[in-house]
Chain A
Amino acid sequence: MNSAAKPDGGLKTYLIVYVCILAIAGLQVFLAYHAEGVPLLTRMLVLAIIQAALAVMFFMHLRQERRSLLLALIPATLFVLLMMNMIWSDSFRLIHMRAFPK
């Protein structure tokens, strides 16, 4: 049995997280139709990251594991995902159909 390092979060905690995730999903749909001010992509990504963090920490019990596991997994993943952002500059070039500089 894979017993976690800390005690189980409890059914009440799971239900609260479940409701929060669904509420954020509903908020995303609402904001998608009322996009003013902050760009839609930013709103969507921030809310999705909050949802994912709730799922990882509570549903996947990472909160209850040793901190060394979290430190081994999450920063490296975020680093790789952040490095992928380098592609954006080229997509902005492409939309204006500019040739590569010689």
Chain B
Amino acid sequence: MSEANLTMGGHPAGIMEESPFAIPSAKLVMWLFIIADAVTFGAILFAYGYVRNASPDWPTPFKFSPSIVNVMLMTFILVTSSLTMLMAVRAARKDDRSGAIRWTFITVAGGIVFALLHLREWLGLIGEGVRLFQNPWGASLFGATFFSITGLHLTHVVGGVIALTVLALGYKRGQYDGGDIENWALYWHFVDMVWMFVVPLVYLMNIAR
């Protein structure tokens, strides 16, 4: 038996089974990370639901203005940044390097604006007396669940902003390719997708009436 056959476990070299998903390993890893992260967010949202359902005095502090208006603006910015990230992927697929870099930086700008609006929302609540384990309205765990869920999401946004900045600069230098932009676009869309659950469950379920 030849050396090649030995290394291939007895099969002739060159007859390799093709990837079952027909995607590069890096993309598959990103998908697996996203799935794991989705379950993490799922668990934290379920924990929030448990506490909320078990608390008869759960606070409903979110007024239409400024909270819900702010959240609607944040949603618009994040979904729009997903669209600009798609434009970056399209440009990268066409080997339009300057276009890909430009659209990626526009996405980064959207992420920064989103994060600033989020911090403004936090500061407003903190100003009203909301802390991790106390608030002026009712169930003491409101602050803990609110800041945990939105904080984890905000961490993902900030992480995405940093990653996309590094990616765009590296892509400009030729260090990264279009595949990397596509992989991180997946991450950014995932962050957008999580927000689609955070808004109705954390904000709209707790509007002030």
Q: Which positions in A face B, CB cutoff 8 Å?
A: 1-3, 5, 8, 11, 14-15, 18, 21-22, 25-26, 28-29, 32-33, 40-41, 44-45, 47-48, 51-52, 55-56, 59-60, 65-66, 68-69, 72-73, 76-77, 80-81, 84-85, 87-88, 90-92, 94-95
Q: Which positions in B face A, CB cutoff 8 Å?
A: 20-24, 26-27, 31, 35, 38-39, 42-43, 46, 49-51, 53-56, 64, 68, 72, 75-76, 79-80, 82-83, 86, 90, 92-93, 177-179, 182-183, 186, 189-190, 192-193, 196-197, 199-201, 204-205, 207
A66 touches B190 (CB 8 A): no
For A14, the chain B residues whose CB sits under 8 A away are: 83, 86
A15–B90 Cα distance when bound, in Å, is 13
Partner of A5, one of B22, B31, B196: B22
Known A18-B79, A55-B193, A59-B86; contact A69-B31, beta-carbon cutoff 8 A: yes
A8–B182 Cα distance when bound, in Å, is 13
A60 touches B189 (CB 8 A): yes
B39 touches A77 (CB 8 A): yes
A55 touches B50 (CB 8 A): no
Partner of B204, one of A18, A28, A65: A28
A58 to chain B, nearest CB (A): 9
A32 touches B21 (CB 8 A): no
B54 touches A91 (CB 8 A): yes
A32 touches B53 (CB 8 A): no
For A45, the chain B residues whose CB sits under 8 A away are: 200-201
A33–B65 Cα distance when bound, in Å, is 13
Known A1-B177, A41-B205, A95-B56; contact A48-B196, beta-carbon cutoff 8 A: yes
A25–B26 Cα distance when bound, in Å, is 32
Partner of A90, one of B27, B50, B55: B50
B93 touches A87 (CB 8 A): no
B193 touches A95 (CB 8 A): no
A88 to chain B, nearest CB (A): 7
Q: Most A CB atoms within 10 A — which of B39, B79, B205?
A: B79
- List 22 A-B pairs, Cβ < 8 Å: A1-B178, A2-B24, A2-B182, A18-B80, A32-B204, A41-B205, A45-B200, A48-B197, A52-B196, A56-B189, A56-B193, A59-B189, A60-B189, A66-B21, A66-B22, A68-B20, A80-B39, A80-B42, A81-B39, A87-B50, A88-B50, A95-B54
